[in-house]
Amino acid sequence: MTQQARAWLTGARSVCVLTGAGISAESGVPTFRGAGGLWREYRAEDLATPAAFRRDPKLVWEWYDWRRGLVRAARPNAGHEALAEFERRRPEGFTLVTQNVDGLHERAGSLRVHRLHGSLWIVRCTGCGNESWDERVPLPGLPPRCDACGGMLRPGVVWFGEVLPEDALDAAVAAASVCEVMVVAGTSAVVYPAAALVPLAKRAGARVIEVNVEETPASGLADVSLRGASGTVLPLILL
């Protein structure tokens, strides 16, 4: 099955890859769901919402500050690196779409990453709307404050119920609609609209290759399901 996936990827004129938290698991960044998905006693769905932030901004920031610390200490793994190398070898006809906010694709050398859910390193003022890149770990004082107006800052990520950045979503939909092969790696494929990219590609005629340690709702759509860690499987099929 690995050989089949590899052959499809080699022959395809356009490839779209959708990644999720599982691709960073081998870098030591916990996924949201499944084993190790909890932070204290909270689930991601209880913290990553505008309502949770209104209720307890300090708690939500503590979670993000913790994740920022983990990610800062982490390094990209062989899965991220294989994707960066794939892009270097064939910059045309390749689109990388990620739900991850950790920036590990970029640190591995991926040049064009369409981030559907924002970034852990962006902070946005809830008062004046000012957005900036902030890599301080830990942040001095939680919740952090805006230098410009003193308003409360929020993480520059997309929360449940919020709209995705239009440019990233448009690029993702466009790529999914025309790709000959879609690789879906390390995502539970339960969070929309990202998960809808898989049936979209499938309907448009793409071959779908899933890389995951477990079965997911996307498995039923996959032409090939490769059960294994993305750090092992992606180099085998991409390089």
Q: What residues line the site for ligand OAD (CB under 6 A)?
A: 20-22, 25-26, 31-34, 37, 44, 48, 99, 117, 157-159, 186-188, 191, 211-214, 216, 229-230
User: What is the C-alpha to C-alpha distance for residues 216 and 151, in angstroms, rounded to an integer?
Assistant: 41
Q: How far is the CB of 183 from ligand OAD (least distance, A)?
A: 11
Q: Tell me the residue nearest to ligand OAD as measured from the CB.
A: 22
CA count, 13 A, side-chain hemisphere, 12: 30
Spatial neighbors of 185 by CB under 8 A, at least 6 apart, are 17, 18, 19, 20, 22, 23, 79, 210, 211, 212, 230, 233, 234
Residue 148, helix vs strand vs coil: coil
In the complex with ligand OAD, which residue's Cβ is closer, 95 or 188? 188
In the complex with ligand OAD, which residue's Cβ is closer, 181 or 198? 198
Q: How far is the CB of 168 from ligand OAD (least distance, A)?
A: 12
117: annotated active-site residue: yes
In the complex with ligand OAD, which residue's Cβ is closer, 74 or 178? 74
In the complex with ligand OAD, which residue's Cβ is closer, 147 or 171? 171
Is the preceding peptide bond at 199 cis, omega within 30 degrees of 0?
no
Q: How far is the CB of 147 from ligand OAD (least distance, A)?
A: 25
Query: Among 141, 162, 148, which Cα is nearest to 65's?
Result: 141
Q: How far is the CB of 90 from ligand OAD (least distance, A)?
A: 23
Q: Token pair for residue 75?
A: 């390094």
Residues belonging to the active site? 117
